[in-house]
Structure 1
Amino acid sequence: MRRLHILKLAGWKRRFSRAGAWSKDVLVCLDRTRVLGLAAETAFWLFLSLVPLAAVAGLLAGRFSTNNWSAVVQLLSPLPAAARQLVSAELINLATWNQGSVGVGSTAVFIWLASSGVHSIFDSLEIGTGISRPWWKKRLLAIGMCIVLPVAVALLASLGPALQGAMGGLGRWIPPLRATEAPTLASRLLRFCVSAGIVLAYVCALYRVGIPPRARRGVPILPGALLAVALEILFGFAYAFYIAKAGDGGAYLAGLAVIGVTMIGLYLFTAALLVGAVVNRKLARGVETCPGAAARSRMDD
């Protein structure tokens, strides 16, 4: 009996040792591929294109579902309230597009500026793989994603009433989902799972489009995407908690403070995205985990 207990402890010790070595390799790869620095650079470009990106998403969403315009801002829920208020104010100004105030030329400018942020994400993902594609190809892919984005947001905007109706129908057989004036725990959990699923699909699409085809061979996508979404949710709650406890929130409504708060939120989002990409390469068999680090060292030499 004692020998069996010792064997079990030895087995658990080996598992913990392998998990520790695996985690150490991931941390070393994060350092060699300069993930934190790339996240800062990408956050800067994402901030410059944040309002245009939200504008592109809001144009068709507001066109097809004006009663659910707030769904566009809900996509930015990982960001602090001050950042969401900034984007929301710009989207309200863009609501005049329904009366023809925003023309085709302005829409094209919005798409071009918004694609810069998506393009920067592609650049960061490529650096981690050591394989790069032509600039024009990445720009076209980024523009394509920005064009598809309004359609997805329009569907998401119409999802609110549809989800409410579905919950009302399910409430006949599942009492916790029954529609009430105040949202129940089950209804909140269902909405959270649906939102997390949408974010997961978006991250998987980013990995699929943003990583070159040669670098995707034998590399899984879903594990890193799940980790990225989990980190984004964790970072979002932790950052919101920090801001709430650091002050009453009024100090973050000033112009420069909003910029800083928003950029940190984008930095955390991008860091989670890049960490998920590194973990995917670590889980792949026969694939170099940190090819970007070797390529950069050769360039430095």
Structure 2
Amino acid sequence: MTTTLQFTKGQGTGNDFVLFTDADGETDLDGVAIRALTDRRFGVGADGVIRAVRSSALPAGAATLASDPSAEWFMDYHNADGSLAEMCGNGVRVFARYLVERGLVDLPVGAALTIGTRAGVRTVRRDGSGFRVDLGAWALGDDEPTVRARELHAARPGLSLSVGNPHVVVALASDDELDGLDLSWVPVLDPAPAEGANVEFVVPSDPLVVDGIGRIRMRVHERGSGETLSCGTGAAAAALAVRHWAGAGAPDDWAVEVPGGVLGVHVAPGADGEHVSLSGPAELVFSGALTL
């Protein structure tokens, strides 16, 4: 049986996605189809696939509606290898633009939209330059893994933390170290997290803070996708890690330079702990149809 999929390609700072609408949950692509879609030589090419489905139409959406009945739409996200992911910081902003431009929601500038994800409900606000998503409360992990990466000649300590999905952040000494990494190989974590983790390698700028904004560079190896030009939750994790290391007096606003551009990270108090938000561009590139 063949299926014709109407899709849209979207990207946020080079982190790219194939999006499609399946409002009633009738087209749940399997891993083979997802890998075919995301293949950069034989498919559309992407870091992941996002299905726009009503929260009421899938089991994972039940918890969404129980916590916030206004979260009509669920971001059903798969990594490029077909594995499920809790959420994606760049992806949720691209998803919001997709919902707006396909006429599925009304979101004027200044308004907010609630979206269901496997990491819980996320609120996306539209501003004059793009979209900002509240990633929720963040938390430090309990373990202290070491990280080995190709062209990094000794294992380095990593900081485990969660922003709805798992991350390990590694500080490097220089831009040369960062640029010299070969992230076509999966970094090795010891101990290895049971569910895996995104791994961010970060270099603080010198000076670290300019005009009240912390500045860092980052590269990332994403669980299930490999090295990507950008990772939204990874940018947030990297900024949070450097802020943690910097200690008292570190700023709450950060500019994170990734290979695909610059993302903004902001930390603010919330009822359930510190929340971290992510801002940056979200664009739809082209649409088409593909027979699977």
Instruction: Indicate the TM-score class for this superposition, using the shorter chain for normalisation.
Output: under 0.3
Higher share in helix = 1
Q: Which has the higher contact order (CA 8 A, sep 6+)?
A: 1
Larger Rg: 1
Higher share in strand = 2
Output the TM-score relative to the length of structure 1.
Answer: 0.23
